[in-house]
Every structure is written in C-alpha cells, then in structure tokens.
Structure 1
Amino acid sequence: MNATATATRHPEMLAKIAKGQGFIAALDQSGGSTPGALKAYGIGEDAFSNDDEMFRLVHEMRSRIITAPSFGNGKVIGAILFEKTMDGTASGKPVPELLWERGVVPFLKVDKGLADEADGVQLMKPNPDLEALLDRANAKGVFGTKMRSVIKLANPAGIAAAVAQQFDEAKRILAKGLMPIIEPEVSIKSPERDAADRLMLAEIVKQLDALPEGEKVMLKLTIPAEAGLFQPLVDHPKVLRVVALSGGFSRDEACVELAKNPGMIASFSRALLSDLRANQSDEEFDSTLGQAIDDIHAASVA
C-alpha cells in the first residue's frame, strides 16, 4: 500500500491538504509539553494532581478550540492531534469525525519523543508499536501522521541520520495507507542554523528522490534562515505539501518569516494558541482565536 491508497481512501481529504488555501493547526502537545501548554492557557500545576487530570484539562482546552465557530471557518484545513485527543470526543462525537465534519483534516502525532542528543541532533525514540497505533488511526478516519526530531548543529552525520530515520518511519506509515508528515526541526536557536538548513535540504532531496514513484510525503520544517531556500521541496513531485512550524517565534515573527516563503503554509502551535485563556468568555475566546487564525491564514496564502 502507498500514497495511492491514501488517495483512494480519503480523496476529499487529500485534495484539501494538497490544494487548500489555509493552514494546519498543531494541537498535539504530549506529556512533557502539556503542563506548559496548560500554564500558558492560565491553568497552573496546582489544578491537577495526576496525569489523568492533566490530560482531561488539556482535552477540554482542545475541545473548546475545535468547537469554536472560528475554527470551522475554512481557514484551518488540518489539525494534528495527540493520541489521547484522537481517542476522545467533543460535542458528543469522536474528535476526528467532528473535525472532518467541520472541514478540518485530522492528523495524529505518532512519535514517542526524543532520544538524547548525539552528533548535534535528537533522533526519535524507537517506536515498535507504531503499526498498531496506525491501525487505530485508520479505524478512526485519520488521514495522516506527524513525527518530530530536532537538529541543533550543522553536523553532516547527525543530520543524515535524523532525515534517514524520518523517511524509514514514513515508509512504515505509507505502508498503512496514511500520509506522513516528516518533521526534522532545525532549532531557531542553533548557532549554525543556515548551514543546518542546507545540509538538511540536501538529505531530504536525496531521500525524496529514492522514494518509489507514486509515493508522496509531507514535510514540516522550521522556516529557513534564507527565505525561499526550501522552494525545491515545495516544487518536488514527491512532496504533497510543505508546512512550517513556529519553532519559538512569536506569532507576529512567525507570520512575517512565513510570508517570505511562497508555497509553505503554517502548522503552528504556540503561535496559534498563545493568546487563549481559560477564563475568557466564549465570545472573547472565539474572537481571540479568530484573530490568530486570520493572521496565520494570511501569512500562509501570501
């Protein structure tokens, strides 16, 4: 099974992601980053005493986001979910089902976190149970996946290893008929960011060229230090879409930088959610979210 299987199973979703004028929301904070996400939302660690309570609170936050009127206005074309969010419900419906009813294509974060740094990169931890998770995602109508590793230095061996690992995992995902988003994030704090961008670009092109005909992947990348550097990836016949992470930039900074890179669209998390608070009224919440969506959409279609 390959990318053709994805198209056969989800033709409308495929068309929306390939050609849609919008961006992908990243709602996939997992265990390690969840307390920080809740704190930014105005919920401190004194509000929960165990992981179950923490995940219940973050699920309530995500449910509020995906059911807000502005989230279904057509400018958000996809959403990346954490596993527990995929398994949950909102407005009485399974989250992936509700998202697609709102015109938002569901993706699932599938990596198990980062290994310790070596050769200037953090690879993904081993994921022996990936196929079982992919089967569950397929059963729930999920279109694709996302997995993240981190590049901190312009180390050729480390970057080659990170990109190769991403594509090896992508082949497992393609075999299940799902669309993989490959995310080798170059840290914006790297003292060798531009050099790392260029090494990563060369390794990605090498891996793309080696993919069998008919297979496609998506890429989620840090906005390059040099505007337009990733145009060869945007134009590559084996890339469905190139999306950008905000990577620690503020929303204003991320939108300015993204707009310099035609063909890339946003897949922001903190830059999307940074102004949302638990104590906002529903009207304030939706207005704040709507402004963020408008800003990020404008940068994505610039």
Structure 2
Amino acid sequence: MTLFGLSEPVIRLLAFSTIFITLAAIELLAPRLEREEMRGAFKSRRWVTNLAMVVLSSVALRIVFPLAAVGTALWAQSQGYGLFPMLGLPLWAAGIVSFILLDFAVWLEHVVSHKWPWLWRIHRMHHADTGFDLTTALRFHPLEIVLSMFWKAAVIIALGVPPVAVLVFEIVLNGAAMFNHANIKLPKPVDAVLRLIIVTPDMHRIHHSTDPRETDSNYGFNLAIWDRLFSTYTETPRRGDTGIEIGLSEWRDKRTASLGWALALPFRFAPKAKPKDTSDQ
C-alpha cells in the first residue's frame, strides 16, 4: 500500500521516528519523575531491552503473520469481506467507525490480557518495567504482539475495515502509546482537558502502579472513553502522581532491565510473598 507516493513501511517508520525523537527530547527537558530507573546506566539498560523488543517482535510478526494489519485489510478488501462493504458504507464513514471500533477492540484485548492468567503471564513483561517512559510503550513480548495481530486481523476482516483506516489507526495507536507512557509533565489544566478525550501520561501511569487496584484500571491506550464507560477509570493514584510505585511488586530489582530475563518472564513463576512480621503486634 502506498500513500503520497510512500510505501506503508516507510510511512510508519517516519511517523515512529518523528514521534519518538520528539517525546525523547521533551522527556529530557521536562521529566515528570526523576528516578534512578529513568536516568543513567539503568535507563540505558532499560532502553536497550525495550527497543530490542521492538526488533524481535517485528521479526516474529513478519515470520508468523507476514500480512500484518494493513495487508490483512487489503486482502479482505480484495475478497469483499466484512460488514462495512455489505452495508455499502462510504469510505469516510467506514473509516471513522473503524477507528473507534478498533480502539475498543484494543482496549478489550488489554482488559482480557489482565483477567486471563495465561495471557497475563505474557502481558506482565510490559508491567515489569520499573521505569516509565516512552520506551515502556514498546516493551511487549513477541508472543503478545503475534497474538494481538491475530485479534486485530479478525476484527479487520469481520468489519471490512478500509486499508487506509487501518494504516491511520496503527500510526495513531503507536504514537498515542508512546505519548501516554512518556515521562513528561503536562500542566494540570491541560491534562484535565486532554484526558476527557485521550489517555494522558498521568492517567496511564496509574495503570502501571504496583497496587493491583490501580493496575486494574485505566486500560486505554488512545481514547479515554472506554475506561469511563466501563467504570475502570481511576483519576489519581493513592500515593500521588510523583509518589506512585511503578512495576510489579513480585519483582523490584534491576533484573527487570535485562533482555533475557524479560523474554523468559512468561515462563517464570512469581516468587511467594514473604509472611508479614507480627512479632511487634
């Protein structure tokens, strides 16, 4: 697929690079949290691991699912599959509805990945990052990326999503995920307005809290409506925006920044919780 004379991979790479460089610069100039995990040698280890995940996931996706999302849409279009072609919706209407429904599908997949234990074992690698910046948005296990693509492909085929709508959605979703994982500080009034429509960093950071009650909220990656609509919205973390503890309570050391450790996490058992000391009670 080409747009403005550029192929899909080139368009996506240009969009990714522009958004990544812009957010990285803002993180450097106006960080939200100043912690060891977000600076120095630890940050470098995290970035190497998180960026390596993008490469590994891309390779796995091309091997297992070479069509990817846009290719699937092109194939479905050539076959005349999907609800929208059957209804005869014009391109603009099909595009808008597709964007909204695809966003809901991603939100729903995210919720399910927390609720089903075998999916959580894979997804928890994303949450194991004890830092929180734009590279956390890229830290997904290759298994999860492949499974996610099968889910998106099924939705795309069922709806008959226009290929251009899929391309736009994929670019926006990727950019939105990097934005709401970014370690940037937005003025409170700006954040309050933005989160009525889209997911902001302060809103999504709550989802990465070690507190399970907070992790089980704010699932959105792009549109903010779904968490409000399904009562999974948390406005502020219990420890405050700067006091929030990030990661998984089971693993709180620097191993989480290791690529090998992260790749093996779905196959690890969580350490048993230590009994509380009641000797002083």
Q: Tell me the TM-score normalised to structure 1 length.
A: 0.25
The structure with the larger Rg is 2
Q: Tell me the TM-score normalised to structure 2 length.
A: 0.26
- Higher share in helix: 2
